[in-house]
Amino acid sequence: MSTADSVPRIRWTRRELLWLGVLSIMAVFQLWRGAWIDGGIFVALLAVLVADTLSGGRIALVRRPVMLRRTTIVMSAAVVAALLIVAPRHGIVVMVTMVMVGVAVAILAWPATPDRDRRPDRAYARSSTLFSLVGALFCLWEAFAYILSNTLPGFDDAFPTISVLLDPVVGDTAGRTFFVIVWVVAGLALIRVRGVRGSQ
């Protein structure tokens, strides 16, 4: 068998290239604004995903897909939510909690999952195009707000970013409680979509 035969042939789909583009833009933007940790997170993510694609999807985080009961996940999410609400913001407890959440969701979401098409292909295409356009518009609007507020003298507070608008909300206990619940429920919804293969 020749070397060429043993090396898996890598095909980059348009969808994968678009995702790499989005993640690259996120990484560059975070590094440009001086958020080194945030930028580093996206660079590390890009590196892992590119390595996985180049290996033909052979990278495995765990030997076998993790099977968790839905009740276990919901109870874990409740503990996470409680810690994020009670522990001091930007503190070590919250940091450790978030790292553990990141590891857990990566393990749950990494394994391949079967496709469950329920709609016509064109309906998926329209939906992904429309929601992607709305998402891109939102990101562009925020990027312009950030750039304008940081470049126009005397207009520091005139073009608020989402971070500027939400920071006081998350800083308040009631606001943080609401924000944490929304964030955790969104995460559960995303994992429900693909990650959980529990018995209940």
Partner 1 sequence: MTAIVNVEAYWFTVVGYWVIIAIAVMVEFVARRRPEFIAPLFDMLDHVMHTRMARIGLIAAWWWFGWHFFVGPTL
117-176: contacts with partner 1 (CB under 8 A): 117-120, 123-124, 126-128, 130-131, 134, 137-138, 141-142, 145, 154-155, 157-160, 162-167, 170
23 vs 31: CA distance, rounded Å: 12
CA distance 195 to 188: 9
Q: Which of residues 17-46 bind partner 1 (CB under 8 A)?
A: 19-20, 22-23, 26, 35, 37-38, 41-42, 45
From the CB of 69, what's the least distance to partner 1, in Å?
A: 20
CB 49 within 8 A of CB 106: no
Q: How far is the CB of 6 from partner 1 (least distance, A)?
A: 23
**What would the two tokens of residue 135 be?**
């998402």
User: Which of 72, 113, 150, 173: binder of partner 1 (CB under 8 A)?
Assistant: 113
The least distance separating partner 1 from the CB of residue 47, rounded to whole angstroms, comes to 12
Whether 199 and 67 have beta carbons less than 8 Å apart is answered as: yes
Nearer to partner 1, 35 or 62 (CB): 35
Return the half-sphere exposure (C-beta side, CA atoms, 13 A cut-off) of residue 11: 2
* Contacting partner 1 within 74-103 (CB under 8 A): 84, 89-90, 94-95, 98, 101-102
Cα of 85 vs its chain's centroid, Å: 21
